Amino acid sequence: MTRLLPSLRGKKRYIVFEILSEGEVEKGEFLKELWNSLYSLFGETVASSCKLWLIDFDKEDDAFEGFEVYTGIVRCAHKKTDEVRAALACIPSVGGKRISIRVRGISGTIKAARRKFIKHGAVVATRVADRGT
Amino acid sequence: MFSDLHIHLGNEHPERLVKVALRYGYSCIAVIEEDECFTGGGFDAEVGSSGKLSLLHGVEIRAEDVAELHRKIRKYRRSVDVLAVRSGDDSVNRAALKDKRVDFLAHLEQGDELNHVCMRYAAESGVAIEFNIASIIHSKRGARAKVLQRMSETLKLVRKYGANAILTSGGTLYDIRAPRELIAVAKLFGMEREEALKAVAETPLKVLKRKEEKDARLVR
């Protein structure tokens, strides 16, 4: 099968998020919650146009103030970042564990997303917060 | 300068709220207690490192009628930084929105719907209308649709009469969301980006400033 030319593939954005959780969060359960959130907020048509895909989902080594910290990257269509951000924000709990999700940043490539927001996570995250929206 | 004027403590230590709020980029948060279980605050003493963040203490008043509302406002106004009134029936809402001692009307998804008369009072007195994001996060299907509908209709009136609108997370520790997430959720009920940005940054400070000015007048 021939691959689609890069110029013909849809444009994407990579959203790096972090989860503060009161307990263990499983990747599969999180993904299910994210899709549910997207469906219930926007319906199946918009959810389909978001082209959502979970790239990374890892637990960070350091806990923060008694929270377990998870970071992840989701891929989405470049014009649907607001919708995906809202869907992320509207997840109250995963597998019965209460969570709070924050988007650390959005990038155009996976490489840049990891470099900017995952490697030196906490430090970069506060800088972005200072800069505001 | 982002502010979240409606966070409940729940069973958590205030220090954790402060740490999360700082991580999420807030410079001002208000811990709101319900009037039935008002403890009188004193959080500042328990929190060690709140240098970069101003931690305010507030009360949320629930009143059945106007007399009760006035009585409770008198009771709490001097001892709190932020005074919120939970939306109830129409007469209570009107009285609260007229009253300059009130900072904002909370939980507009509950009680009677705010109409044009209420909104005109709100615009005159500067009492803010709160759009509470936790009520969207924690509701589902029909209930969520109703909340969003109520909010978008209220927003129309807020725009028309030029009342103050504020965005708050409105829940406990795990319901705190970063400013940009609040803005993204606010888009669901039709708030434009610029409007929403104002509702988490400028307007809350403006609302609080009203009180400071009033206090200054009282001292003189």
Helices and strands, number each (H, E), in chain A: 4, 5
Tens of pLDDT along B160-202? 999 999 999 999 999 999 999 999 999 999 999 999 999 999 9
Q: Is B114 helix (H, G, I), strand (E, B) or coil?
A: coil
For B113, residues 6+ apart whose C-beta sits below 8 A from its C-beta are B150, B153, B154
On the question of pLDDT at A18 being above 70, the answer is yes
**A11-131 in CATH: which number?**
3.30.70.3250
Considering only CB atoms, B177 lies closest to which of A40, A89, A132, namely A89
Q: How confident is the model at residue A70 (pLDDT cuts 50, 70, 90)?
A: very high
Shortest distance, CA A100 to any CA of chain B (angstroms): 5
* Token pair belonging to A47: 């959810």
How many domains is chain B built from? 1
Q: Which residues span the domain enclosing B118? A: 59-219
**Residue contact B175–A129, C-beta within 8 A:** no
Is residue B120 domain-resident? yes
Is residue B19 domain-resident? no
ipTM of the prediction: 0.87
Q: What is the pLDDT of residue B46?
A: 62
Q: What is the pLDDT of residue B14?
A: 86
Is residue B20 domain-resident? no
Evaluate whether B44 touches B55 at the Cβ level (below 8 Å): yes
- Enter the pTM of the model: 0.88
Nearest CA in chain A to B23: A126
- Inter-chain CB pairs, A–B, below 8 Å: 76
**Residue contact B184–A82, C-beta within 8 A:** yes
CB-CB neighbors (< 8 A) of A98 in chain B: 174
d(CA B56, CA B74): 19
DSSP type of residue B78:
G
Mean pLDDT in residue range A30-42:
95
Is residue B54 domain-resident? no
